[in-house]
Structure 1
């Protein structure tokens, strides 16, 4: 690690993390321009593609003629913030690596509490299976992935599809980036940090019971066949690292093919910090994994 990287991480660790919804939304909006500098060259970017009324996505198309493997990407933001715009560069980096990337603008809490966001993500996966060919995407080679809240929604969407025995194009890989997979355990470990986001997402009615619902805490739904081959990525400086360890243990117990990559001293959100060498290294691991399983 370079001295410049050390100083950056030191400053990042010293910055207060907002836990209220207005603060989180403002913080993501402030950092988005920094995260999205130097956008990569790709074939095309189609913004605000309508999937259904009230649900859109940005579609990043690789250069070339395809057919392209497909990634449905679910952004992070604590279920209450973020959008395809905050994760634009990351979506375009997937496209630069050759993946047709559908960056989903799912509904956010508290305006739209559970299960609205999850329903949007499940619909988007089905939509991608039926419509990716519009941009020469091959839905037989489709992955679903996301970071933080998007990691939660990835696992919840895929286990939900498995539970309903969905007959359409089935995702062949999962990308689980520093996600939350067990609400009760996370809320107990990080008291006060995630309470507001969790309450906003799950809603007030039957809060304790819903946090144990497998659609909210998908760790409970992982069994043989519940997830496709999966890659788990996190950093040792991330408060959610125990969640990644927990889902790796569940994947092992269910005998689901997986890889796990834990990066020393890396914080939450590092996959969007292009100034860190491990950002590029982790992205390469993900791209190589997808090429190996799709």
Structure 2
């Protein structure tokens, strides 16, 4: 694993600041009863997670929900715990992972997999049913969630469901998708050496575009062997997103369906919403998410 611990901290770009703010938006936080700041790995002091349980007698199915922040900021405590998901009898787990100034990709996915291993081993004592798990995230967290879900699927251990809320899904095509919007873009180019994507992978995306696509979910789906079964996927993205184009959601939908034509995909673009705007924390979005999870975790 490639790391850059102790490296000089890069100044936050405008795109990074916007991604951080958007990744932390989406409605009021609600914490159900549970456990907080459990260490799931010794790799970093950031490797901590919280377990939020619904009312009633467990153990419960659960969603591991990953925060955004452009891969270089963000914290589990700022990620809203969706009340409708708890109300349907599903627990919500929030976790921190190493940021791009602490370790380069794929350390972040390795953290997600380490947390899942911890939760599968310790699940019963934490009030969780180990094998009834969904994996999701928002913005950068959605990239991590989908990436980890593909790794698990390749190992024959796919989650019961996957959630993508306004995530980047192909680093190599992000700028082309943004150019098609025909309006002002609220971020630095992903191809730039200073972009949050380039800082994550350790090289300018524009200089090694094929490699950046190959490590992204869309590229990995395109390289999958025929016959792979994929879990149900729910995608929500703002059609007015000027940080991560809705074209990224479209690319994921097409690649997921091409890899597994039988996979269920619940796809919707929110016509008036941007990146992580308030609608993503309202019942109109969260109730369908809760229904989707309840159906596949039951």
Query: What is the TM-score when the length of structure 2 is the normalising length?
Result: 0.78
Deviation per CA, 1:223-279, whole angstroms, max 9, x where unpaired?
553631111111211132101111111222221211112212011113xx2xx4873
* The structure with more helix, counted as a fraction of residues: 1
Q: CA deviation at 1:78?
A: 1.1
Q: Which runs of 5+ in 1 are unaligned?
A: 1-16
Q: CA deviation at 1:102?
A: 1.4
What's 1:7 paired with? none
Contact 1:45 1:58 in 2 (8 A): yes
- Asked if 1:40 corresponds to 2:23, the answer is no
- Asked if 1:148 corresponds to 2:139, the answer is yes
Q: Which runs of 5+ in 2 are unaligned?
A: 1-11, 180-187
What's 1:221 paired with? 220
- Asked if 1:245 corresponds to 2:245, the answer is no
* Structure 1 residues 91 and 243: CA distance shift in structure 2, 3 A: same
What's 1:204 paired with? 203
Q: How does 1:6-21 map to 2 (within 5 A)?
A: 19=14, 21=16
Query: What is the number of residues matched between the two proteins?
Result: 262
Q: How does 1:1-294 map to 2 (within 5 A)?
A: 19=14, 21=16, 23=17, 28=21, 37=28, 39-40=29-30, 42=32, 44-53=33-42, 54=44, 55-87=47-79, 89-90=80-81, 94-166=85-157, 170-190=158-178, 192-194=188-190, 195=192, 196-204=195-203, 208=208, 210-214=211-215, 217-222=216-221, 223=224, 224-225=227-228, 227-239=230-242, 240-253=245-258, 254-255=260-261, 256-270=263-277, 273=278, 276=279, 279-294=282-297
* Structure 1 residues 92 and 80: CA distance shift in structure 2, 3 A: farther
Q: CA deviation at 1:36?
A: 6.4
User: Which structure is richer in relative contact order (CA contacts within 8 A, separation 6 or more)?
Assistant: 2
Query: Would you identify which runs of 4 or more consecutive aligned residues in structure 1 move more than 6 Å?
Result: none
Query: What is the TM-score when the length of structure 1 is the normalising length?
Result: 0.79
Supply the distance in 2 between the matched residues of 1:47 and 1:20 (Cα, whole angstroms): 31
